[in-house]
Structure 1
Amino acid sequence: MNTFSKIVVIVFSGLINAIAQAHNGHGDELPWQACSTSEKNTPCEYTNSHGDIYQGNCKLFGEALMCVRNKPIVRANMSKMLTPIKLDNSNQGTK
């Protein structure tokens, strides 16, 4: 095998490994924990370590229920931006 062929094989192997790692599944147990006491198709919600909120329904995978997201992710920084701000109107009318 010549040098070029070896390089092609190494690069191809690295790409396959990167693709496989990208589809590694959930990194935590939160989707399963969200449905641990629920029934199939009931609404569920969980929050990840960054404060993002995931909402969906409990679906059956094998013999375990998992919260499958069917609504947009509410990002932690977005939920803070959507929090109502109380304005101090006590000084109005005293001109």
Structure 2
Amino acid sequence: MAIKLKNSLTFIPVALLFFTLGYANAHLGPLNEIAVKACATKEKSQMCQYEGGHNDLYLGTCQYMADELMCVRNQPIQFIEQPEGTEQTKHTHNDNKYGFN
């Protein structure tokens, strides 16, 4: 009984360590360049917005991420309706830019 309890108590700190490392790595990726540009002339907590590549509008406030000020969405994504007869913006992904296949 004492051995099972000791093993259980060892498992908890090890599991917490792995969860913490995974959380930190999730925030190490490249920043969205458009979101960074949206706050280029603003200060922290100012309202900001930028358009995504699929006729969507992101609304939020400027916040620091990875020592850079960027627009962080804090409202629902809004769809931008295109006037009739205009072609939807073409958008491509360059997944290989960051090593994704």
CA radius of gyration, larger in? 1
Q: TM-score, normalised by structure 2?
A: 0.47
